[in-house]
Amino acid sequence: MFKKKKTSLPLILGAAVLLIAGGAVAYWLFVQRQEVVGEVPIGAQLIPQDALLAVSMSTEPEQWQQLREYGTPETQAILDKQLATLRDTFLTANGYNYQQDIQPWLGKEVTIATLASRTSTATSNPTKSAPGGAVPLAQHPTIMVLPIEDPLKAQQLLSKPKSPSSPKFVERTYKGIQIRETRTAKSQNLSTTVLGRSLVVTTDPKATERAIDTYKGEPSLAATPGYPQALGQIQSAQPFGQLYLNVPVAAATAAASSARALSSENLAQAQQKQGIAATATLEPEGMSFKGISWFKPNSQKKLIVENNAKNMPSRLPADTLLMMSGGNLQQLWQDYAEGAQSNPLTPIKPENVRAGLKSTTGLDLEQDLLPWMKGEFSLALIPKPPEIPSELGAGVVLMVQASDRDRAEKTFNQLDEVMSKKYQFQVQQTELGGQPIVNWTSQLGGLTATHGWLDGNVAFMTLGAPLAQVVVPKPKATLEDNELFKNAVFADLSPKNGHFFIDVDRTINDGNLALPQFAPQQKTLLAGIRAIKVSAAIRNERSSRFDIFVLLKKVGKPALIPSPSLSPKSSPSSTASGSPSLKP
């Protein structure tokens, strides 16, 4: 959350002031009132419907102050440095102050959108002709919409003389609406116009024209099928921000930029989805996100309404480091494998999983395993108990509620034979807590595994450090008793289809586990996070819901952002006399 963004709020606000502060803008446009559609952000009415990504953020100072209280002194310093740099460069250097010159007229939220580039690369590869083209995301046009809450105060700013240090601009009209654009070689050229009661700033003249087209009747983001209804399901009393991802455009853009070719059939599969939206809220213990994804009204794809993720957190110990669970492992895999065909960014290819399992165990994933894995499941990383000697600090535990125990038993017998004959593991049947289990022990030491049954039909397997005694028959203190897990419970999302939980402090920040190394800045940002919890549910055959809670450390009330490092060469009021004329 502290990563520097190319189109950050202070940057665009400062640039917008430089573009409008000295010139002639049609004042009557300010005082026109725009129609508000449902609960959608005001800016969504000026964003073209095929936008790739749109983010709306609160402008309330109290919320930004609360954001700065999260994290550690190091993460707070990173955020403050970025804000101060942007302020100095785009406001202070040109004689402006956010609190005095911008905040008095600005509305309660601003909307930033990234458009899909309409540049395409001529090639025989069908994915290269997809919308978006093979253009880096950072080079896609950006639109920012700043609602004008107080037209009179905005006009007062426009009446101030322009500072000599402000960049030069040119004016033009498009469909009868005035546009002002900078023309400099040293900084980002920006284009601005006023539409209704909103100031629109873009990084591309064509993007400004598209915003005007939208204003005059072309399809807008606000009119996207299902968009207002989706936002209605994830409303928050005091949201800090809202996000929307156009899934078809994102899929086409990713395909155009990927070396992996996708067939037209696979691309068409991705086009059935409409969008993903989320609302972010600042909570006392961190940030919560209410999210939803949905299909197009005419999509052939339908979701299976099944929310059976109920019991697995109660089967895992309270000190669990990481866990993911779901209601149906077979269905989860089928959905993943199907989605991977139309997603070039899929991290693990399904065919690699199948081939790897076949080569190591001789088992067929679809034939030998998934047919009996139709029940609730969990995969967890658990630290070894202190009293157990082991070279490994943690182990993995897989639990699956078997839909066919006899078939599952056959699979485990095959695994026992493979481990004994192919890998020379010692396979031993024994008991733990009065229940039969099977241990695999490597002759080389270190790695061990155990499998058995819980409550008659819940198969479990541990791998790594010896953990069987932690889950058999049942832990005394469970994950449900973990304060971090409980603090992230979502009361309005029940029943659930799955969970994800990670104790970031003990899993990553403590450095006790042999995990891949993170870059220094990533480590600094992760140090500000305590834990992450995700819950998901299938609402109906065309939409699913998810909630995310990021528990953050708190550094306390932050100090004031350092004073401007750049002194304005001159103030707007001292550079010239009189005020510019206003054109009707």
Q: Where are the beta strands (DSSP E) in 487-580?
A: 498-503, 529-540, 543-552
Task: Name the β-bridge partners of 245.
Answer: 53, 276
CA atoms of 421 and 75, how far apart (whole Å): 53
Instruction: Say which residues have a Cβ less than 8 Å from residue 489's Cβ, sequence separation at least 6.
Output: 533
- Whether 220 and 356 map to the same domain: the answer is no
Domain for residue 568, yes or no? no
For residue 553, tell me if it sits in a domain. no
Q: Are strands 273-283 and 109-115 parallel, antiparallel or unpaired?
A: unpaired
Question: Which residues lie closer than 8 Å to 516 by C-beta, 6 or more apart?
Answer: none
The parent domain of residue 162 ranges over: 9-271
In-domain check, residue 570: no
- Measured CA to CA, the distance from residue 139 to residue 519 in angstroms comes to 25
pLDDT digits (tens, 9 = 90+) for 469-510: 999 988 999 999 999 998 765 666 788 899 999 999 999 999
Sign of CA dihedral 397, 401, 404, 406: positive
pLDDT value for 161: 61
Shared-domain flag, residues 306 and 260:
no
Domain end point (choices 232, 256, 271): 271
Tell whether 267 and 306 lie within a shared domain: no
The answer to the question of residue 107 being in a domain is yes
384 and 245 inside one domain? no
- Residue 493 — left, alpha, or beta (φ > 0 → left; ψ -120 to 50 → alpha)? beta
Query: What is the residue whose two structure tokens read 């402090």?
Result: 505
Query: Cα torsion for 250, 251, 253, 255, to the nearest 10°?
Result: 160
Q: Which two tokens stand for residue 173?
A: 């009209």
**92 and 192 together in one domain:** yes
CA distance 408 to 410: 5
Whether the predicted model's global pTM rises above the 0.75 cut: yes
Residues of the chain predicted below pLDDT 50: 1-38, 119-133, 566-584
Tokens 């047919």, residue? 371
**Is residue 207 domain-resident?**
yes
Q: Which tokens go with 155?
A: 């006009």
Q: How many CB atoms lie within 10 A of CB 565?
A: 12
CA distance 158 to 155: 5
Phi-psi region of 455 (alpha: psi -120 to 50; beta: other; left: phi over 0): left
d(CA 279, CA 293): 12
For residues 476 and 391, membership in a common domain is answered with yes
Query: 438-477 pLDDT, tens per residue?
Result: 999 988 776 789 999 998 899 999 999 999 999 998 899 9
Q: Which of 271, 293, 319 is the last residue of a domain?
A: 271
User: Going along 191-310, which residue ranges are E strands?
Assistant: 191-195, 198-202, 241-246, 273-283, 286-295
Token pair belonging to 512: 């006790």
Domain count within the chain:
2
In a domain, 389, yes or no: yes
Nearest Cα neighbor of 230 from 240, 250, 252, 245 is 245
- CA gap 490, 500 in Å, rounded: 13
Same domain, 264 and 306: no
Domain assignment of residue 51, yes or no: yes
Q: Whole-angstrom Cα distance, residue 539 to residue 493?
A: 10
Question: What's the count of helices (H) and strands (E) in the chain, helices before strands?
Answer: 17, 20
Question: Among 217, 287, 239, which Cα is nearest to 39's?
Answer: 239
Residue at 281 is within a domain: no
Predicted pLDDT at 347: 84
Q: Which of 510-513's residues contact partners 24+ apart within 8 Å by CB, and which partners?
A: 512/393, 513/321, 513/393, 513/394
Q: What is the pLDDT of residue 36?
A: 38
Whether residue 318 is found in the same domain as residue 394: yes
Residues 6+ apart with CB under 8 A from 566: 88, 89, 92, 93
- Bridge partner residues of 180 (DSSP): 171, 192
